[in-house]
Structure 1
Amino acid sequence: MERLVSSYNYYLSIADKRLENRFGMSSIFSPILTLVIYGIILFIIRKIMENRKPFELKTFMIFYNLFQVVASFYNCFEILYLVIKMKYSLTCEPVDYSDDPDATRLAYAIHFYYVMKVTDLMDTIIFALRKKSNQITFLHVFHHSSMIVTGWLGTKWVPGGQSFVCVMFNSFVHGVMYSYYGLSSMGPSIQKYLWWKKYLTQLQLFQFLCVVSHSMVNAMQTECTYPKAFVYSTAIYTTLIAGLFVNFYRQSYLKKAAKIQATKTE
């Protein structure tokens, strides 16, 4: 136990000091507590809603999705602006832990990304209040929960350098995704024009491919000082999530299309 505490204190000592007083970054217990509260709230809501009619939440969803769209695109282009300004490399870019204004600004943008992962948990709460149990899948809960952990770890130790690729890509994809959700929440008059839902999943899969490819390229840069532990863990985690999304895409679109085609030929 003493050795475990010693190791924890050591890794805490080499974490980025610029973010230690920002939201959720003071202790490893912060993401753990976030997930515990998330689980408790979901449990309570589902119990309360058992014998109640689902909430509509139309106005709330419109404004919530609008916030997510603006915040996601803002963060994406904030990071893009900074990495172009600082002339970051795509193949090897170590984390700049200095107090340089632009490097610090990038660290804050990556921290904001983590905060966005916390606000993303509202998706599940909305599903529960609307009694959309079919949308609270293993993929949904695992993805949202694991992003709290991975987002916290990345923000704590590598808020910069090569991390910008994953964060920037994901922020852009979420901007597009919440644009779809926002339009969908406006009702049937708008929903009939949203024929492009399956392409959102394709965009997410393309994102995963880019992130894994980028990690592999970085892994081959033997002299690059960006922590290899984060390179490999990013590749492994993204591959796992990609596998779950591929299965979702296959079940939701490919098999459904095959059934429709089979019905037509009968």
Structure 2
Amino acid sequence: MLGEAVSNILQFHSYLQSRTDVRVRDYPLMQSPIEMTTILAAYAFFSVYVGPRWMANRKPFHLNTAMIIYNLSMVLLNAYIVYEFMMSGWATTFTWRCDLIDTSSSPQALRMIRVAWLFYFSKYIELLDTVFFVLRKKQSQITFLHVFHHAFMPWTWWWGITLTPAGGMGCFHAMVNATVHVIMYFYYGLSAAGPRFQKYLWWKKYMTAIQLIQFVLVSIHISQYYFMEKCDYQVPLWIHLIWMYGVFFFLLFSNFWVQAYIRGKRLPSANHNPKQNGSLAEPITVVANGKHMENGNAHHYTNGKIVLGKVKEI
């Protein structure tokens, strides 16, 4: 029985290797799903078990400088990803309608493959969002959905660029997501810079609107597939999954917008003062959009996930 199971796993592994696009096979973390699954499992284990226990009897780290550098670096990285997506087809040869997967080895196709892989790899860098929470003892921010989203995104994208690295209309949502991350990480960078930058963060309310626009654009673009007389997109399963993702998150963010900005139901304030190492923890006020305001200083945002109506991290 065990031998048969092992044999089936090995056969499936060989099948994946044979299906992996040869143009992306030599990129880091693309040789096997085992590597990336191991990394993401270790991330989840650290986030919910090892990290919190290691920090239990330690004071939180003050990482404002590191967070500023990290967030602004992510702004630059995502801006570069957007530029490369545009130059790889979206601003040059794509029709923005039924754009098929490019199976050639043309310079444009190879450029698209590189940026698709870079977008995938950026999701591993974003795991640092959670590491910062752990080291700063913001464990309340590390919800199940937060960890699931950070782990699930790179896991699913591995399958996407394994089969369709030059994804045509199926990569539009990645370009839009990277665009949103330019804005979001810029906001987080200013927030981490301290109270003197608060006057420049008057647009915090519109962060949710930016998210809604993202999901509207993704959903409208991918919905064209269902109304075209003919579109021979090579992997229609991706179309269905992208459409479901866009609609699902649009509904969740819309519900938050209604509750927070139309009905005025802000999230309740709560002061948490647990004694740790003989001192009181800083009071935290929870405000709309899942942001946190500590002692009147910078708002700390999680990067775009949703938990029971709260906007967590993006």
Equivalent residue for 1:18, pick from 11, 17, 23: 23
1:237 aligns with 2:245: yes
Equivalent residue for 1:205, pick from 199, 209, 212: 212
Q: Give the Cα–Cα distance (whole angstroms) in 2 for the partners of residues 84 and 73 of structure 1.
A: 15
CA displacement, residues 44-81 of structure 1 (integer Å, 9 cap, x when unaligned): 22111122221110111111111100000011011112
Q: Give the Cα–Cα distance (whole angstroms) in 2 for the partners of residues 24 and 10 of structure 1.
A: 17
Aligned to 1:65: 71
> Which stretch of the first structure deviates more once superposed, 129-138 or 99-108?
129-138
1:82 aligns with 2:77: no
Aligned to 1:32: 37
Equivalent residue for 1:190, pick from 192, 197, 203: 197
> Which stretch of the first structure deviates more once superposed, 40-49 or 227-236?
40-49
Q: Give the Cα–Cα distance (whole angstroms) in 2 for the partners of residues 165 and 92 of structure 1.
A: 11
Q: Give the Cα–Cα distance (whole angstroms) in 2 for the partners of residues 4 and 240 of structure 1.
A: 33
CA displacement, residues 212-247 of structure 1 (integer Å, 9 cap, x when unaligned): 222221244443233101111111233334444445
Residues matched between the structures, number: 259
Amino acid at match of 1:38: Y
Task: Give the drift of 1:10.
Answer: 3.8
Q: Give the Cα–Cα distance (whole angstroms) in 1 for the partners of residues 127 and 155 of structure 2.
A: 13
Aligned positions of 1:91-102 closer than 5 A: 91-102=97-108
Q: Hey, which of these two has a bigger chunk of strand by percent?
A: 2
Q: Give the Cα–Cα distance (whole angstroms) in 2 for the partners of residues 141 and 54 of structure 1.
A: 20
Aligned to 1:216: 223
- Please, what TM-score do these two structures have when normalized by structure 2? 0.75
Aligned to 1:179: 186
Q: Give the Cα–Cα distance (whole angstroms) in 2 for the partners of residues 234 and 30 of structure 1.
A: 25
Aligned positions of 1:108-123 closer than 5 A: 108-123=114-129
Identity %: 35
> Which stretch of the first structure deviates more once superposed, 7-16 or 59-68?
7-16
Task: Give the drift of 1:250.
Answer: 5.3
Task: Rate the CA distance shift 1:146–1:247 in 2: closer, same or farther, 3 A.
Answer: farther
Q: Give the Cα–Cα distance (whole angstroms) in 2 for the partners of residues 174 and 114 of structure 1.
A: 14
DSSP-derived class of the 2:30 partner: coil
1:169 aligns with 2:163: no
Q: Give the Cα–Cα distance (whole angstroms) in 1 for the partners of residues 155 and 234 of structure 2.
A: 20
Q: Give the Cα–Cα distance (whole angstroms) in 2 for the partners of residues 234 and 206 of structure 1.
A: 15
Task: Give the drift of 1:40.
Answer: 2.5
Q: Give the Cα–Cα distance (whole angstroms) in 1 for the partners of residues 174 and 195 of structure 2.
A: 33
CA displacement, residues 148-184 of structure 1 (integer Å, 9 cap, x when unaligned): 1222122211222113311110111001100000111
Q: Give the Cα–Cα distance (whole angstroms) in 1 for the partners of residues 226 and 21 of structure 2.
A: 22
> Which stretch of the first structure deviates more once superposed, 91-100 or 4-13?
4-13
- Please, what TM-score do these two structures have when normalized by structure 1? 0.87
Where do 5+ consecutive residues of structure 1 fail to align?
A: 261-266
> Which stretch of the first structure deviates more once superposed, 178-187 or 9-18?
9-18
Task: Rate the CA distance shift 1:93–1:246 in 2: closer, same or farther, 3 A.
Answer: same
Amino acid at match of 1:232: H
Aligned to 2:293: none
Aligned to 1:263: none
Amino acid at match of 1:98: S
Task: Give the drift of 1:36.
Answer: 0.9
CA displacement, residues 114-157 of structure 1 (integer Å, 9 cap, x when unaligned): 01011111101101111122322333223212211222122211
CA contact 1:219–1:232 (8 Å) conserved in 2: no
Q: Give the Cα–Cα distance (whole angstroms) in 1 for the partners of residues 63 and 185 of structure 2.
A: 16
Amino acid at match of 2:59: K
> Which stretch of the first structure deviates more once superposed, 63-72 or 202-211?
202-211
